[in-house]
Amino acid sequence: MLNGKQKRFLRGLGNLEKAVVIVGKDGLSYNLIDSTINALNARELVKVSVLKTFDDDIDTLAFDLAMHTKSEVVQQIGRVILLYKKSKNPKIVLPK
Protein backbone atom coordinates (compact mmCIF):
# COMPACT_ATOMS: atom_id res chain seq x y z
CA MET A 1 0.00 0.00 0.00
CA LEU A 2 1.37 3.38 -1.02
CA ASN A 3 1.33 6.38 1.29
CA GLY A 4 0.60 9.96 0.20
CA LYS A 5 4.25 10.93 -0.22
CA GLN A 6 4.91 7.92 -2.45
CA LYS A 7 1.82 8.62 -4.56
CA ARG A 8 2.91 12.25 -5.05
CA PHE A 9 6.36 11.04 -6.12
CA LEU A 10 4.86 8.55 -8.61
CA ARG A 11 2.42 11.15 -9.99
CA GLY A 12 5.42 13.40 -10.68
CA LEU A 13 7.13 10.59 -12.58
CA GLY A 14 3.87 9.78 -14.38
CA ASN A 15 3.64 13.31 -15.80
CA LEU A 16 6.66 12.56 -17.97
CA GLU A 17 5.34 9.19 -19.20
CA LYS A 18 3.38 8.59 -22.38
CA ALA A 19 0.42 6.23 -22.36
CA VAL A 20 1.67 2.68 -22.93
CA VAL A 21 -1.67 0.90 -22.68
CA ILE A 22 -4.74 2.08 -24.62
CA VAL A 23 -8.28 0.96 -23.71
CA GLY A 24 -10.78 0.97 -26.56
CA LYS A 25 -14.41 -0.03 -26.97
CA ASP A 26 -13.69 -3.65 -25.94
CA GLY A 27 -12.87 -2.47 -22.43
CA LEU A 28 -11.42 -4.95 -19.95
CA SER A 29 -10.28 -8.01 -21.91
CA TYR A 30 -7.68 -10.73 -21.42
CA ASN A 31 -5.44 -9.05 -24.00
CA LEU A 32 -5.66 -5.74 -22.14
CA ILE A 33 -4.83 -7.41 -18.81
CA ASP A 34 -1.88 -9.31 -20.37
CA SER A 35 -0.43 -6.22 -22.03
CA THR A 36 -0.82 -4.23 -18.80
CA ILE A 37 0.91 -6.96 -16.78
CA ASN A 38 3.78 -7.05 -19.30
CA ALA A 39 4.11 -3.26 -19.20
CA LEU A 40 4.08 -3.23 -15.38
CA ASN A 41 6.77 -5.93 -15.25
CA ALA A 42 8.94 -3.93 -17.64
CA ARG A 43 8.36 -0.43 -16.22
CA GLU A 44 6.65 -0.59 -12.78
CA LEU A 45 4.75 2.64 -13.57
CA VAL A 46 2.28 2.52 -16.45
CA LYS A 47 0.01 5.19 -17.87
CA VAL A 48 -3.25 3.87 -19.32
CA SER A 49 -5.26 5.98 -21.75
CA VAL A 50 -8.99 5.32 -22.18
CA LEU A 51 -10.42 6.20 -25.58
CA LYS A 52 -13.78 7.96 -25.98
CA THR A 53 -15.21 4.80 -27.55
CA PHE A 54 -15.15 3.18 -24.08
CA ASP A 55 -18.65 3.72 -22.69
CA ASP A 56 -18.48 2.22 -19.18
CA ASP A 57 -17.39 3.83 -15.91
CA ILE A 58 -13.67 4.66 -15.90
CA ASP A 59 -13.40 4.45 -12.09
CA THR A 60 -14.64 0.86 -12.23
CA LEU A 61 -12.23 0.08 -15.06
CA ALA A 62 -9.30 1.46 -13.03
CA PHE A 63 -10.28 -0.60 -9.99
CA ASP A 64 -10.81 -3.80 -12.00
CA LEU A 65 -7.59 -3.37 -13.97
CA ALA A 66 -5.62 -2.84 -10.74
CA MET A 67 -7.22 -5.94 -9.20
CA HIS A 68 -6.49 -8.18 -12.18
CA THR A 69 -2.89 -6.97 -12.51
CA LYS A 70 -2.25 -6.88 -8.72
CA SER A 71 -1.17 -3.25 -9.01
CA GLU A 72 -2.24 0.01 -7.35
CA VAL A 73 -4.04 2.96 -8.86
CA VAL A 74 -1.80 5.95 -8.23
CA GLN A 75 -4.00 8.45 -10.03
CA GLN A 76 -7.06 8.62 -12.23
CA ILE A 77 -7.82 11.90 -13.94
CA GLY A 78 -10.36 12.06 -16.71
CA ARG A 79 -9.53 9.28 -19.16
CA VAL A 80 -5.99 8.63 -17.88
CA ILE A 81 -5.12 6.02 -15.26
CA LEU A 82 -1.70 5.67 -13.63
CA LEU A 83 -0.85 2.21 -12.25
CA TYR A 84 2.12 1.10 -10.14
CA LYS A 85 3.39 -2.37 -9.28
CA LYS A 86 6.74 -3.00 -7.60
CA SER A 87 8.78 -5.52 -9.58
CA LYS A 88 11.21 -8.13 -8.28
CA ASN A 89 14.09 -5.91 -9.40
CA PRO A 90 12.81 -2.40 -8.55
CA LYS A 91 13.70 0.36 -10.99
CA ILE A 92 11.90 3.10 -9.05
CA VAL A 93 13.11 3.91 -5.54
CA LEU A 94 10.16 5.17 -3.52
CA PRO A 95 10.56 7.68 -0.68
CA LYS A 96 9.73 6.38 2.81
pLDDT tens digits, one per residue of 5-58? 999 999 999 998 899 999 999 899 999 999 999 999 999 999 999 999 999 999
- How many other C-beta atoms are found inside a 10 Å radius of the C-beta of residue 12? 9
- Scored b (16 or more CB within 10 A) or e, 27-66 reads bbeeebbebbbebbeebbbbbbbbeeebeeebeebbeebb
For residue 77, list its beta bridge partners.
Answer: 80
What average pLDDT does range 53-72 have in this prediction?
95
Is the predicted pLDDT of residue 90 greater than 90, yes or no?
A: no
pLDDT for residue 77: 94
pLDDT for residue 84: 97
